[in-house]
Structure 1
C-alpha cells in the first residue's frame, strides 16, 4: 500500500481498514481528517460539504450526527444503502462515521440530549456499519451526549468483534461530552489508553493542546508516546469550534500536534455549521505537509 500522500481515489477504493492504517503510518504525521455534520445544509447548495472538505485538502471524511438506520448526507442523493458509496464516489476519499457510546449511569455535568439508536454504538448499529461500507468508525461523544470512557471501552470490544480488520477503530473524547470527571486534563489517562488499545482500538483520539483546558504539549506528547509504545496510532483533534479560528491559531495548533507526534490530524465541523472553514482545512494541511502535497491532494481527480 502507498503512503496516504501518494494515494488517489482508485487506491482508496480498494483499501481495507488495515491497509489504510499502514498508509497513514507511512505518511509520518501528514494525514488530515475533516469532520462533517452529515445532515447540515451545505455551505454552498451546489456542492456537498464532504466534497468541499475534500477539495480543500482532506484525506479522510468523518461524518458526524450520522444515523446508520436513517442515513443522510445533505447535498448527496442516493438510496440509503448506497449513500456512503456515493459519498466515496463524489470525494474520492475514505469515509467514516462517529458512533457514540452513551453511558446512562454516568454523572452528568449538564443537561443531556437523547440520541437516536442509529447514532449510538450498539451491536445493531455496528453491524449496519459493515453493511453501509464505511472505512472507519470513531467512538467518541458530541457535546451533551453523556459518553464516558467506560462505555467507549465496551464499544471498542463490540466493534472489534463485529468489524474485524475491514474497518479501523478510532476511540477517545475531544471534550467532556457532558460527563463529570472526564473533561480537560482528566479527559484520558495512561491506564485508559492502555485499555482502549488492548480492547482493539487502532487509533487513540486525544484533544489537541490548546483546545481543552489543561492539556499541554508536554502532556499530550507523553500520551502519544505511550500510544506508539503499544503500537497504535494517535489522532490529535480540534473539536472545540476552533476550526473556525483565525489562520494563525490553526497553524499553531497544527504544528503543536506535529511536535506531539500525531499520526492523524483532525479538524472539526463547527467553523461554519457542519464544516470547518474550508480555508482552515487547507492552511492546516499546508502547515503539516507543505503546499506540494496539499495542492496535489486538492487537485487530483477522483477519476485517477
Structure 2
C-alpha cells in the first residue's frame, strides 16, 4: 500500500516509481517540505554536510542547487565528488533528491550583469538524463539570480525532457524570482497562460513564488493559480527564493501559513540563510512545524535511514 511522504522510510523510496512519488506527495495534503542546498558551499557545521543538516531539521525532499551533472559534487560528504554523489545523499538522508537545472535564454535582456553558468548546469534534456542516471528523483527547471532564465526557455526544456525521460523523472518548472529578466517581474513572473503552457509541454509540478516573497505575490493571487493547477490534475509548489529563508521565525511562520492558505502541495525553502548554502536550520524546522505540527516534524527528524 502506498504511503504518504509523511510516513516514508528510506527503503520505501528506493523502489518507488515516478507516479508513486507524485501520489505520495499529493496524499500528504500540503505537508511536504523541500529544502534547497547549494552543493558547492562549505557546510556550516564543517564536518556534517548541509544535506544531512537540512534532513535533521525536518526536510522531506532535498533540492540540489549549483549541481553540475558533468562534475557532480556535494560539499561535506565523505566522498564529495563523482557519479555516485546523489546516491550517497540518498543513503545518508533517506530523502528524495531533486536537482535544479537552468534553461538560460541568451537573447533576453538582463537588468544586471549576467551570471554565466557551466554547461552541466543548463536546463537541457541531455543534462536531465545525466541527473537521472546519477540518481535524481526530480528536476526543477528554474533560474538563479542574473542568469537570464525565461519562461519561454523553461517550456522548451520541459518539452525536450518529456520526450526523452519524462516518464522516469518528476518535472518541476517555474521561477522563484525574475532571475535577472527585465520582462518577467512581479505578477508577470507567472500567469495562468504560463501555467497552461508548462503543463501542455509535459510538466508535473509548477513552482510559484510563495505569498509574501516576490512583490505582488499575494495569497489570493497564488491561490487562484494553485486552484487552476489542481483543476488540471497537477501539483503546485510554493517557494521562498528571496533570501527570506534567513528571516526571523515569525516571518517564516507567516509565509508558511500564507502558502498553506493557497492550497499548495509542496513548500520550498531556499538556500540562503545567514550565508549562502542552506536556509537557517531553525527556519526549516519552524516551517515544517507550522504546516504539519510537531508530531509529524519530529517523526521526520527522528526516523532512521536504516528503516
**What's the counterpart of residue 27 of structure 1?**
28
Q: Shift in Å at residue 130 of structure 1? A: 2.2
Structure 1: 5+ residue stretches without partners: none
**What's the counterpart of residue 220 of structure 1?**
222
Q: Show structure 1 runs of 4+ deviating over 4 A.
A: none
Across the aligned residues of Structure 1 and Structure 2, the Cα RMSD in angstroms comes to 0.9
Q: Shift in Å at residue 206 of structure 1? A: 0.4
Q: What secondary structure is seen at the aligned counterpart in 1 of 2:293?
A: helix
Kept after mapping to 1: 8 A contact 2:116/2:147: yes
**What's the counterpart of residue 182 of structure 2?**
180
Deviations 1:150-204 (A, max 9, x none): 0000000111122222210110000000011211111011101001011111100
**What's the counterpart of residue 267 of structure 1?**
269
Q: What secondary structure is seen at the aligned counterpart in 1 of 2:268?
A: strand
Q: How does 1:221-236 map to 2 (within 5 A)?
A: 221-236=223-238
**What's the counterpart of residue 52 of structure 1?**
53
Q: Does 1:114 align with 2:96?
A: no
Kept after mapping to 1: 8 A contact 2:98/2:138: yes
**What's the counterpart of residue 2 of structure 1?**
3
**What's the counterpart of residue 87 of structure 1?**
89
Q: What secondary structure is seen at the aligned counterpart in 2 of 1:80?
A: coil
Q: Distance in 2 between matches of 1:122 and 1:20?
A: 23
Deviations 1:43-85 (A, max 9, x none): 1112100000000000000000000000110011155111110
Q: Does 1:279 align with 2:279?
A: no
Structure 1 residues 181 and 283: CA distance shift in structure 2, 3 A? same
Kept after mapping to 2: 8 A contact 1:146/1:178: yes
Q: Distance in 1 between matches of 2:133 and 2:306?
A: 25
Q: Distance in 1 between matches of 2:186 and 2:85?
A: 36
Q: Shift in Å at residue 219 of structure 1? A: 0.5
Q: Shift in Å at residue 208 of structure 1? A: 0.5
Q: Distance in 2 between matches of 1:61 and 1:15?
A: 17
Kept after mapping to 1: 8 A contact 2:71/2:81: no
**What's the counterpart of residue 71 of structure 1?**
72
Kept after mapping to 1: 8 A contact 2:39/2:67: yes
Q: What secondary structure is seen at the aligned counterpart in 2 of 1:71?
A: coil
Q: What secondary structure is seen at the aligned counterpart in 2 of 1:222?
A: helix
**What's the counterpart of residue 248 of structure 1?**
250
**What's the counterpart of residue 41 of structure 1?**
42
Q: How does 1:162-177 map to 2 (within 5 A)?
A: 162-177=164-179
Kept after mapping to 2: 8 A contact 1:16/1:135: no
Give the stretch that moved more between structures: 75-84 or 228-237. 75-84
Scaled by the length of structure 2, the TM-score of the pair is: 0.97
